[in-house]
Amino acid sequence: MNGWILYGGKDVVELTRACDEARRAGVNLEVIAPKDVDIVLDAAAPAEIYRQGIAVPAPQFAIAGFVDESDDYNLALLQQLEAQGVLCVNRASTLRKTSDKLLTLQLLAAQGIPVPKTLLIRPGVTTPAFIREHLGLPVVVKVNDGSKGYGVALVQSETELDTLMEMLAVSQGTRSFLAQEFVADSRGRDLRVLVIDGQPRVCMLRSNRAPEGFKSNVSAGGRAEAFPLTDPIRELSIRVIQTLELNMGGIDLLFKGGGFLVGEANSIPGFQGIEYCHDINVPGEMLKSIGRQLKERAAARYKAMAERFHSLEDLKDRHETELVPWFLMGACGAVKDIQQAVLLDIVRRNANTAFGRAHGFEAIRSVEDFRQRVAIGEWKAFEPYALRMEQGEKDLLFDGQPSHFISTSGTTGKNKLLPESADGHLAKALVSRIRTALLMHALPKDIDGYFIPFSNVSVMDATASGIPVDYASGSTLGSIPDALRRRMAIPMEVLQVHDPATQNYLVMRFALAQPLVRLLIANNPRRMTALMEQADSQRDSLISDMEAGTLTADLKLDADLRTRLANQLTPNPARASELRAMLAARGRLDPRDYWPKLGYISCWLGGSVGRYLEGLKAWLPDGMMFMDCGYGASEGKFNIPSTPGTSAGPLAVFGYFLEFIPESGGDPLLAHELKDGTEYRLVVTSYSGLYRYDLHDIVRVAGFTRQNPNILFVSKTSEYVNIGSEKLSGTVLSDLISGTLAAKGLGWMHFCVVENLEHSRYDYCIEPEGGKVPDVEWLVEMEQALMEQSEFYRILRNQCVIRSPRLFVMKRGWLENLYHAAGGHNQVKLPVIWRQAPAPESVDHVVES
């Protein structure tokens, strides 16, 4: 938060207090003299503000409390700041009303608010007799623009009044004067009501210390006492606030009979007395109020921007500092409108494609039109188009040719190439930018050091027509901002290496040289665990290479890449010595030693890969911050987690049109129709030519960000075992397996459950970690836990519908072989549920129950 406090040159305690509180609150508050500021207006360009001849940006807010409120230039400056969107406290229009006491009273009286009887003195015209006739004696005479009790006199006799009026008649001054009835009930005392954020906050009684004293201002030596803010005082104050549009300030009330008169109002009054008799930090509360108002204004502005959203083009040139609040404060509050805008934009862009013509896109004007023309489908509905696009055909699923294809090796089985349009790539890039910005926001502002991103190779091949083929994670890596890329602990070329073991070695060869690694980013937590395990298993080679500045000869690298990487290395015997000392002290190379300030991990926290978190945590110190990197697939990036420790996040409503089929049954719902705690099957329409595409992903709603449901990935629809209608999810089975293994002190590298329909039983496949191996005792305990978890399973087992389970103890290296076959750790989400048995050569032995 940055702002100005306009200062007219008077040395006041309140100014110093405000600046001190701003420093304590981390607010950049500059003291600005209006006389040093010039404004240049031009209808053809935004107005420019100069301070002592140098162009300066407008602040977020300006406090106008220590300047001459009646000065025309001060008011003109405030008006210009307001016109440029600056929050002015108070506004120029309010200062006009409060600086002119007569105008203040005129406005209040017009609203029926009780004020003292008052008249404007016209020197040489207004007679003492006229004043006595209408106001009586004694009478109060004051300057119309005074403050802090200055320029106020109590005239008690005819002689005093005659003398004063004679002096005013011959004076050559330009100031105007008021005559006001003397309110005897309020002699030497009044009330000051403090206004903050347009609300009366506290009240104090001001009184003169002398028995016959007239003025009660604390700044003039008056006494301050706390006074209750009663309902009548509150209600009267609110009427004054509304009439004068007072954001912050003070209202002075006079006692009369059993009620009150409004004496005057001040834009920002002195608050020493208030703080003396009340437990309130006035400048601190003012700054909090300004912060809240700035947030409200920003939310309103971003909400208006969201309501005007038409397409991705509206967003692509926006900086993260505007993109993130637009999403959180704007888009998340306009889910229904944005989703319809996205759908109509996708349809409009692709109306002249083969798919668009076949489905009447030209006539679609609403969500219902779209649903009537396009049925929910699976990959087989799009595959013929994709195959033709691989050969170079255009305008099939979307306008033009793909910018590239995404190779997916997820849980759906057969490998496929997904065509990606430029707009589809932009949608993913925008989601990635917001995710990255939120991750950076969750880190300490002054964090130093390096980070390591883990990715599959980006451009891995090309189609017959020469169109590049990427992995999704490699493509995402290309959108990392330059400022962040400069803090990578490894060269980008390392992530172009195809062989996983070679890539892991190279990552650690470069990263071990950097003790100040602070952040690791990967989709799959198992990827990071494997890296640390490999570093320890190859520690001798890594330390030798570190010492000599070399790369071991057995890496699978082409000569050119090896040369380019080797040229970036130099001998580092000092670091090699440190690593040997770490190894000797702990018995293994451990990240707690070689990266002692590592504190942040970004990876998937839920779904089928969340079970690998415990294995990763065994290598990490306590207190690590985990931030989910976001739910997505090769087809898109669908949520944006904003809170550490949870995989739930609001939908990326601007990048895709999304529908949700309730798992309990029923018609597809839209994003704004979802219910908290409910599970749905996700259906996607994307800018890359997927229309009502059933991802076979189960997601759950976990609360809302404004109107936007926070979703998390639960499992694939295929992630269920359903031999006899028990329908147990992979998530439930994963929790039970890991829990029962942990209870017996058994470590594991990987496990899965085979749905053995041929023999109507569950086959558990486990690759153990460490010396202890699960046995029949574990199998019995797992069976008991499953029966306690699922009544249906227990009934079906007792009825012999489901037969006794088996345990397959897998050979060492089974997990790594699975990843290698699927293309690497980062892209692959290995399923918990398998439909066929593992290859016999990967099984060490089988345990029957």
Asked if residue 574 and residue 494 are part of one domain, the reply reads yes
Identify residue 91 by its one-letter amino acid code.
R
Asked if residue 522 and residue 588 are part of one domain, the reply reads yes
- Which H/E stretch holds residue 426? helix 422-442
Asked if residue 409 has pLDDT above 60, the reply is no
Asked if residue 263 and residue 120 are part of one domain, the reply reads yes
Asked if residue 222 and residue 121 are part of one domain, the reply reads yes
Closest CA to 766 of 743, 746, 749, 742: 749
Q: What is the per-residue pLDDT across 695-714, written as a single tens digit (0 to 9) for each?
A: 989 999 999 999 999 999 98
Asked if residue 390 has pLDDT above 60, the reply is yes
Percent of residues, the chain, with pLDDT higher than 90? 64
Could you tell me the two tokens for 518? 């602070």
C-alpha distance from residue 401 to each of 396, 465, 467, 471, 691 (Å): 8, 11, 9, 18, 17
344-356 burial by CB neighbour count: b if 16+ within 10 A, else e?
bbbbebbbebebb
Q: Is residue 794 domain-resident?
A: yes
Q: How confident is the model at residue 215 (pLDDT cuts 50, 70, 90)?
A: low
Would you state the pLDDT for residue 216? Answer: 61
Average the pLDDT over 538-545 and give the result.
96
CB 379 within 8 A of CB 416: yes
Which of the listed residues 549, 573, 596 is the one where a domain comes to its end?
596
Count the alpha carbons within 13 Å of 101 in the hemisphere toward its beta carbon: 27
Would you state the pLDDT for residue 333? Answer: 93
Asked if residue 221 has pLDDT above 70, the reply is no
Asked if residue 655 has pLDDT above 80, the reply is yes
Asked if residue 102 and residue 20 are part of one domain, the reply reads no
Asked if residue 263 and residue 149 are part of one domain, the reply reads yes
What is the 3 state secondary structure string of 599-645?
A: CEEEECCCHHHHHHHHHHHCCCCCCCEEEECCCEECCEECECCCCCC
Q: Is residue 394 domain-resident?
A: no
Give the CATH number, domain containing residue 190: 3.30.470.20
Asked if residue 156 has pLDDT above 80, the reply is yes
More confident residue, 215 or 323: 323
Would you state the pLDDT for residue 821? Answer: 79
Asked if residue 147 has pLDDT above 70, the reply is no
Q: Give the chain's mean pLDDT.
A: 89
CB 139 within 8 A of CB 182: yes
Asked if residue 252 and residue 211 are part of one domain, the reply reads yes
Residues 6+ apart with CB under 8 A from 792: 724, 725, 726, 727
Asked if residue 410 has pLDDT above 50, the reply is no
More confident residue, 664 or 455: 664
Q: How confident is the model at residue 110 (pLDDT cuts 50, 70, 90)?
A: very high
Would you state the pLDDT for residue 213? Answer: 63
Q: Is residue 498 domain-resident?
A: yes
Would you state the pLDDT for residue 475? Answer: 54
Which of the listed residues 564, 596, 628 is the one where a domain comes to its end?
596
CB 685 within 8 A of CB 676: no
Would you state the pLDDT for residue 721? Answer: 87
Q: What is the per-residue pLDDT across 62-82, written as a single tens digit (0 to 9) for each?
A: 998 766 766 788 888 999 999
Q: Is residue 769 domain-resident?
A: yes
Asked if residue 735 and residue 786 are part of one domain, the reply reads yes
Asked if residue 411 has pLDDT above 50, the reply is no
C-alpha distance from residue 353 to each of 267, 350, 385, 387, 732 (Å): 63, 5, 11, 15, 44
Q: Is residue 305 domain-resident?
A: no
Would you state the pLDDT for residue 472? Answer: 67
Asked if residue 106 and residue 191 are part of one domain, the reply reads yes
Would you state the pLDDT for residue 760? Answer: 85
Q: Is omega for the bond preceding 708 within 30 degrees of 0, making it cis? A: no
Average the pLDDT over 575-601 and give the result.
96
Q: How confident is the model at residue 749 (pLDDT cuts 50, 70, 90)?
A: very high
Could you tell me the two tokens for 270? 């002195």
Q: How confident is the model at residue 39 (pLDDT cuts 50, 70, 90)?
A: confident
Q: Is residue 491 domain-resident?
A: yes
Q: Is residue 27 domain-resident?
A: yes
Q: How confident is the model at residue 732 (pLDDT cuts 50, 70, 90)?
A: confident
Asked if residue 125 and residue 227 are part of one domain, the reply reads yes
- Give the distance between the most distant pair of CA atoms in the chain: 119
Q: How confident is the model at residue 579 (pLDDT cuts 50, 70, 90)?
A: very high
Asked if residue 158 and residue 139 are part of one domain, the reply reads yes
Q: What is the per-residue pLDDT across 791-828, written as a single tens digit (0 to 9) for each?
A: 888 878 877 778 899 999 999 999 988 888 776 655 56
More confident residue, 103 or 501: 103
Which of the residue ranges 213-217, 448-452, 590-594 has the most confident prediction, judged by mean pLDDT? Answer: 590-594
Q: How confident is the model at residue 132 (pLDDT cuts 50, 70, 90)?
A: very high
Would you state the pLDDT for residue 8? Answer: 75
Q: Cα–Cα distance between 673 and 694 in angstroms, integer?
A: 19
Q: Is residue 141 domain-resident?
A: yes
Asked if residue 669 has pLDDT above 90, the reply is yes
Inter-axis angle of helices 500-511 and 539-548, to 10 degrees? Answer: 50
Could you tell me the two tokens for 573? 């015997």
CB atoms closer than 10 angstroms to residue 479? 15
Range with lowest mean pLDDT among 57-66, 169-178, 467-476, 671-680: 467-476
Asked if residue 659 has pLDDT above 90, the reply is yes
Would you state the pLDDT for residue 369? Answer: 97
Range with lowest mean pLDDT among 157-161, 345-349, 603-607: 603-607
Asked if residue 267 and residue 160 are part of one domain, the reply reads yes
Q: What is the per-residue pLDDT across 257-281, written as a single tens digit (0 to 9) for each?
A: 999 999 999 887 678 889 889 999 9
Which of the listed residues 529, 564, 596 is the one where a domain comes to its end?
596
DSSP 3-state of 196 = strand
Give the CATH number, domain containing residue 52: 3.40.50.20
Asked if residue 493 has pLDDT above 90, the reply is no
> For the chain, how many structural domains are there in total?
4
Would you state the pLDDT for residue 552? Answer: 94
Q: Provide the residue range defining the domain that includes 17.
A: 2-92
